[in-house]
Structure 1
Amino acid sequence: MTQTLPGPRQAGAAHRGLAGGRPGFWPLILSYLAVVASDLWFVYPLATDALSWPLTVLWTWPIITTITGIVGIRGTRRRLRAAEARWSGRGPTSSPDFLIVLVPTVGRHDTYPALKRSVLSYLEHLPACFPRLRIDIVIDEGCEAADRIAGLAARSPLIRLVVVPARYRTANGTRFKARVTNYAHELRIHEHEHRDDVWVLHMDDDTGVGPDTALTMARFIEEQSQAGRDAKHLAQGVLTYPREYAVNTLTWLADSVRPAEDVGRFSAWTGSGTPRAGVHGELLLVRASIEASIGWDFGPRSIVEDAQFALIFSARYKGRSAWFGGRCYGASPASLRDFVRQRERWSWGLTALVFNRSLQLRNRLLLGYSVVSWVVGPITNVSVVMLLSILVAERNTSPVALFIIPLWALNMAYTIWMYWEGLRLNAAVSGDGRRRWWEPPVVILLIPVFGMMESIPGLRGFMKFAQHTEHKFTVIRKPS
């Protein structure tokens, strides 16, 4: 039995198609011009004080990420235009391929409401485009909310409850989410579902879909059936955060950066065919035959299994990934503490991948570059630099050469763009479809705060890894 999503979400996230259109360049351009002008005004003439060389290196360091993000913006705009032209005038698409939605959950009572919301969205929106559909909810034997989840699974014959036995162990001793995901993967192989015409949609238990999600996935799969030897095997869209799902305004505003990353940096790498920047665990669409060749048994230290899967895929199937314009709809962390714990886990896990010699070196080097950009954040934060300059009585924070200023300005302008554009994307999938008057100026003014919110847990995760502190797979509370 399919049920409709409750409350204000009816007019919001789940029913708003490709609202918001293509990401805009104008906020980036205006920000760049403003930052260049202010930099030239405040730091000129140049000086070679004690802070000049460190700042020249540290504030210039993210330039590769910035350029990659700008390439991604252009690619996103181009792909959306091409999709509009290709599918203009055509009706809804129904895919003949078999879609399996995989939803691992820790199965706690505090995560159940979000799981229920997400599963109901799959039942509501996916069958129209995928007549061959199954939703696999994967839980550990004896989990806290097992009875409630079993009741949810009984609502529809499209849902299958997969219970991972407590005694189950992988060959490499994998734990946490990757362990239960690997169990489901082995079950599909046992049931002979690891075929080219079977696709696995990986979703988190707090992340739902809308009609745009179903339509863009079905169109992507149809395109692959016609692509022959050039067919793609993996794709990902955009993770957004409707305002209605947020219980903490600060973390919701801070998470503006995540959809912006999807239409920027992740679009550049995944859309180019090789997801070297990694992927996230939501809205990850993988051909079952390809997933069967990789699996999820990455060992006991794997806590960012989605990123590890992407790096292995990049080495084995170069040029075979794609980006599509559909969105999924999740919830930001319910508290600042949960936000910090989430980012800390990511930092620990990504640092572990950097030093994982089983992975291709060039992919680890790119990941290492990104991790360095992240963990030095606390000392490159503009508020920290201003305070330091006052303490050492060196008010001039100029670079050692004039040509560095445009690079600094581009980095800062791209950061402003991410929060501006990400807020627009999140607001577009919210109930009223627009930003409130106070949100754009606040999100820009709080960028130094958000920088510390992101970078301090990043540094903490890195330090815990360096100190060989074991890190658990922390599952934060999921707002409903």
Structure 2
Amino acid sequence: MTFSKFNHSEYEEEINVLLYLSLSEHKRDRIESIVKHLCAVLTLAAFIVAVTFMNVNRWTPEVSDYGPKTELAFFIIGLVPYLSIPVAILNCFGILFYNPFYKTNRILPKLSSVPFLCLRIVTRGDMPDFVIRNAKYNRDLCLNLGLQHFMVEIVTDKPVNCQEKDRIREIVVPKGYSTKNGSLYKARALNYCLESHVNLLAGNDWIVHLDEETLLTEASVSGILHFVTDGSGDIGQGPISYANGKIINNWITTLADSVRLAMDYSLFRFQFAFLNRPVFGFKGSYVVVRNNVEMEVGLDNGPDGSIAEDCFFALKAWSKGYKFEFITGEMLEKSPFTLKDFIRQRRRWFVGQFYTVLSKEIPLVYKLGICSSIICCILMPISLSNVYIDSFYPMHRPLICSLLNGLVGGTFGFLYCFGAFVSCSGRNWSLIRRIFISLSCCVLIVPIAAAMESIAAYWGLMTLNSNEFFIVQKEVPKRVQPTGHSKIM
């Protein structure tokens, strides 16, 4: 292959060599990713087979003597895990049909064709130095990649006094500002950005929603640029890693959050890339949406739509016919620093989703997936009690019950293991250490995570009217500068 615009053979030779090396590296990465993907699929199958094998009634007598009422109660309790079958199936499809290890979007699109981007960070303003430091980091990363048509917006309730004006804009939400429908918290701040005297964006410009601690990576920027230039969707969302940063403040909460990254690559990827719908949920960070779509859908959904404003917005957008897509490339965030903060965070999510399901503004058909997730969360203690019942009060069940239990239990066990393994991919650890951490997460962290999720759900049920919007503390020590992970996935 030659390039006619270069007249000197020395240039042609150098370019051909570089192109050859690039293609060779691409082929090696492609083969390596296929091998890793195959290993992940086989591991998922092994988890399902192992749990199924443990549920097969090999030593259980055909007839038990627990009494008809007790047997009926055990039978009903045994049906509860089957409510998670749809989620388990979609997670399996996501792992099976999409390769989480393949480095897509290795080359940035032509920057002249990239529309204007607004990186929007919403904060209360309680951690000004932390917010400004992360905003500058994200800005500098974009500049280093050659991106020019963008700005970073810090939307805050309290002034953070950001003196850096180069592509960073501080928007202070007035204390007296109120929306038409009385939206609160983050929804109120985001709605203020859409006011005509505040919004500087054109209809075809894009907004990238970030949390205070969210850090971009080269991979995520590449994924975003491809998404906004391809025109494949109106709203996009990508994976977030919680263990690739320089500092891990709490390994228990970080590993408990690893399942979220696994579900980004399985459930969320399948529902966005294949179904193009937020069937089972949506996150409030790493959201890429066209400005005119956000204005059309709106964020002024009243107090009940302000607790989980992200989920409410996504379901409204789905009901209006907007298309969702999956964005490749991880961003980095921090897990809660304490177990209490972890529970309080989950409690807010649960309450927000609960109010979303009760809302009359969204048709029921668009809320069925969220509704099933809430029911599964409430019944989680009953579902997990089957482990105790099967161990001490074994009963003979049809083989299909063992297969279904294997599907549900094996899938979720695998997700914790897989999430921990992928989360640690950016750390300078040996393969043996990563496997050990992953298996430890599956064995030790799953019971703790399940307990915290259950406590959060029941706490939320008992405090539905508390109207609390808790924000976890995620500011790292000032001496530690944020570092990104440049691996493109």
Provide TM-score, normalisation by structure 1. Answer: 0.83
Q: CA RMSD in A?
A: 2.6
Cα-to-partner distance string for 1:97-150 (whole Å, 9 max, x where unaligned): 0000110011113xx45424431331122232531111000111xx3xx3xx32
Alignment of 1:214-253 (within 5 A): 214-224=221-231, 231-241=232-242, 242=244, 244-253=246-255
Amino acid at match of 2:126: R
Tell me the residue number matched to 2:280: 277
1:335 to 338, 347, 367: 338
CA distance in 2, matches of 1:462, 1:326: 36
Q: Partner of 2:315 in structure 1?
A: 311
Paired with 1:93 and 1:268, the residues of 2 have a C-alpha distance of: 28
Residue in 2 aligned with 1:59? 81
Whole-Å separation in 2 of the counterparts to 1:454 and 1:398: 31
Contact 2:108 2:225 in 1 (8 A): no
**Cross-structure match for 2:450:** 451
- For residues 199-245 of structure 1, the C-alpha deviation after alignment (integer angstroms, 9 at most, x for no partner) is 00000001111111111111122211xxxxxx411111101112534
Q: Could you tell me how far 1:426 is from its partner in structure 2?
A: 1.1
Question: In structure 2, what residue type is equivalent to 1:96?
Answer: V
1:27 counterpart = 2:40: no
CA distance in 2, matches of 1:42, 1:179: 58
Report the CA distance between 1:452 and its aligned residue: 1.2
Shift of 1:340: 0.4
CA separation in 2, counterparts of 1:360 and 1:116? 40
Q: Write the letter of the residue equivalent to 2:443.
A: L
User: 2:469 matched to which residue of 1?
Assistant: 473
Query: Match of 1:214, as an amino acid?
Result: V
| 1:474 aligned partner, one-letter code | F
C-alpha deviations, 1:411-443, integer Å up to 9, x for none? 011111111111122101345586546412321
The C-alpha deviation readout for 1:71-107, integer Å capped at 9, x for no partner, is: 2223432x976x84xx57x566425300001100111
* Partners of 1:247 and 1:479 within 8 A in 2: no
Instruction: State the SS of the aligned residue for 1:65.
Output: helix
Give the match for residue 115 of structure 2: 97
**SS of residue in 2 equivalent to 1:62:** helix
Supply the distance in 2 between the matched residues of 1:169 and 1:67 (Cα, whole angstroms): 43
Q: Following the alignment from structure 2 to structure 1, what is the Cα–Cα distance between the partners of residues 61 and 132?
A: 60
Distance 1:437 1:405 in 2: 27
Larger Rg computed on CA atoms: 2
Matches within 5 A, 1:11-410: 24-40=40-56, 44-45=60-61, 49-77=71-99, 84=104, 90=107, 93-94=110-111, 95-109=113-127, 112=128, 114-127=130-143, 128=145, 130-140=147-157, 143=158, 146=159, 149-150=160-161, 153-187=162-196, 191=199, 193-196=201-204, 198-224=205-231, 231-241=232-242, 242=244, 244-271=246-273, 272-301=275-304, 302-318=306-322, 320-381=323-384, 384-387=385-388, 395-396=393-394, 399=397, 401-410=398-407
Q: Once structures 1 and 2 are overlaid, which stretch shifts more, 265-274 or 412-421?
A: 265-274
Change in Cα spacing, 1:259 to 1:389, as seen in structure 2 (3 Å) is closer
Q: Does structure 1 retain, via aligned residues, the 8 Å contact 2:272–2:278?
A: yes
Q: 1:237 touches 1:284 (CA, 8 Å); kept in 2? A: yes
Percentage of matched positions with identical amino acids = 24
Question: For residues 437 and 117 of structure 1, do their structure 2 counterparts lie closer, same or farther at Cα, with a shift above 3 Å needed?
Answer: farther
TM-score, length of structure 2 as denominator length: 0.81
- Cα distance in 1, alignment partners of residues 62 and 193 from structure 2: 60
Question: Cα distance 1:93–1:425, how it changes in 2: closer, same or farther (>3 A)?
Answer: farther
The separation in 2 between residues aligned to 1:265 and 1:181, in whole angstroms, is: 27
- State the AA in 2 paired with 1:260: A
The letter for the 1-side match of 2:459 is R
Partner residue, 1:11: none
Distance 1:155 1:119 in 2: 10
SS where residue 103 of structure 1 aligns? strand
Counterpart of 1:177, as a letter, is K
Counterpart in the other structure of 1:5: none
Alignment of 1:1-16 (within 5 A): none
Partner secondary structure for residue 25 of structure 1 = helix
- Aligned residue number for residue 21 of structure 2: none
Equivalent residue pairs, number:
430
Paired with 2:141 and 2:62, the residues of 1 have a C-alpha distance of: 58
Query: Take 1:183 and 1:47, find their aligned partners in 2: how far apart are those partners?
Result: 66
| Higher deviation after alignment, 261-270 or 250-259 | 261-270
- Structure 1 distance, partners of 2:447, 2:404, is 19
2: CA distance, partners of 1:387 / 1:240:
33
| Alignment gaps of 5+ in structure 1 | 1-16, 225-230
1:27 and 1:420 in contact (8 A); partners too: no
SS class of match (1:470): coil
- The whole-number CA distance in structure 2 between the counterparts of 1:25 and 1:238 is 19
